[in-house]
Amino acid sequence: MALARRTGIGLLRGLALALLTPLGMPLFVLRIFGLILVPLGMGLLVFVPSTLAVRALANLHRRLAGQWLGVPVPQPYLPPPHRGVIGLVKRMVTDPATWRDQLWLLLNVPVGFFLGVLPLGLLANGVRGVLTPFAWSPNGAGPRPGALGGVDYVGIPLTSRENAVAAFPIGLAFLVALVWLTPWIQRLHGRFHHALLGPTRRSELASRVRRLTETRADAVDSSAAELRRIERDLHDGAQARLVAMGMNLGAAERLLDEDPAAARALLVEAREASVAALQELRNLVRGIHPPVLSDRGLGDAVRALALASPLRVEVEVELPGRLDPPVESAAYFAVAELLTNATKHAGARQAWVDLKHEDGVLRMTVADDGHGGADPSLGTGLRGIERRLGTFDGTIFVSSPVGGPTVVTMEVPCTVRR
């Protein structure tokens, strides 16, 4: 039953895709026409809309290839340039994906159509073959003209009862082939779309380079900002206190003989300033790289974070060893930021942190029972995490419906040092 259902769905989907193929022809012609007219100026009015239409059609097929045929096809287009309409047109003309789309429009008519209707053809031949012996009439010399029509079946002249009976197993074979081959045909159909609509190795590399350029710029920016913050903190904090301490000590030195009591008071002040300066340096160090992180690694550092948090935090860690220090640090600060958000913005009482390393990927889940409503596109904190993890090709996914709960899942590909 499930087999019949699967085959039926495959057949209908193939048919639907086959019916879409003629749509490509007018677009194909229109775009060529538009391109020829571009030098005359007017062509743009044809070329740009037709290209957009082609892309919409191609994107529909990319989506359907993933949903129906089991072959997801990513978009290969170059991102639009920043400047103007002319740049946009230029990018459209020079993007190799545009021309691979055009080729696809052409080839999809025979190939896409054929692969789409193939299951239907198998079904029709199968049904006809199976029914032939029952429809064949022994009266008269030839086959009875009827619903099944025709004078032969797949090349067998239906002139005798034996031949008509022989059509039965052949028809059965067609039906078996239909059930057997439909998933395979679908995959082949998907691969056809992937070959022309998917990114080539070259465009894949190009988009990888683009992504690396972006994340590298982000990394440089954020580390520069971080250095400025450290400089400012040192300047306003510990450095200022050390200056005050030096002045107090100098004054105490001068007063030592004349007014020992005043000198003593200044010395006490100096000692207190040194304690405060140390406190500030400690906080600063914690913000740069918490010592427990280098001592014990991510698992214990997150446990320490949980202990310091005003929330009740349950921590679950499954890490087979230490991660690379930069990944550890990015992951730690991501979790710290999320716990702070849960406390400050979500009004949570309890939070859960789950760290796991599996198949070369660090998976981190931070959940809280707060009132939700966190929007990654608005919160600078979440954007910051995204950027920080992006440097390591990491991703963040936020689910935070209004009313809660908030669940944030982060993944960073990385290796474990055992």
Nearer to another protein, 207 or 309 (CB): 309
CB of 218 to another protein, least distance (A): 30
Strands (E), 116-155: 152-153
Burial of residue 400 (CB within 10 Å: 0-12, 13-18, 19+) is buried
Q: Which residue has the tokens 């159909």?
A: 189
Beta bridge partners of 395: 411
Nearer to another protein, 9 or 268 (CB): 268
CB count within 10 Å of CB 290 equals: 19
CB of 245 to another protein, least distance (A): 12
CA dihedral in degrees (188, 191, 193, 194; nearest 10)? 170
Closest CA to 386 of 219, 148, 261: 219
Nearer to another protein, 6 or 303 (CB): 303
CB of 100 to another protein, least distance (A): 55
CB of 71 to another protein, least distance (A): 49
Nearer to another protein, 19 or 275 (CB): 275
Interacting residues with another protein (CB under 8 A): 271, 274-275, 278-279, 282, 285-286, 291-292, 294-296, 300, 303-304, 307-310
Question: What is the β-pairing status of strands 361-368 and 406-413?
Answer: antiparallel
Nearer to another protein, 159 or 274 (CB): 274
Tokens of 98: 């545009």
How far are the Cα atoms of 230, 285, 379, 381, 414 from residue 220, in angstroms, in the given order?
15, 20, 21, 18, 21
CB of 411 to another protein, least distance (A): 26
Q: Angle 2-20/44-67 helices, nearest 10 degrees?
A: 170
CB of 270 to another protein, least distance (A): 10
Nearer to another protein, 178 or 302 (CB): 302
Contacts of residue 73, defined as CB under 8 A and 6 or more positions apart, other chains included, come to 61, 62, 65, 66, 190, 193, 194, 197, 198
Cα–Cα distance measured from residue 155 to residue 161, given in angstroms and rounded to the nearest whole number: 15
CB of 414 to another protein, least distance (A): 21
Nearer to another protein, 299 or 384 (CB): 299
Nearer to another protein, 238 or 382 (CB): 238
CB of 187 to another protein, least distance (A): 53
Beta bridge partners of 416: 323
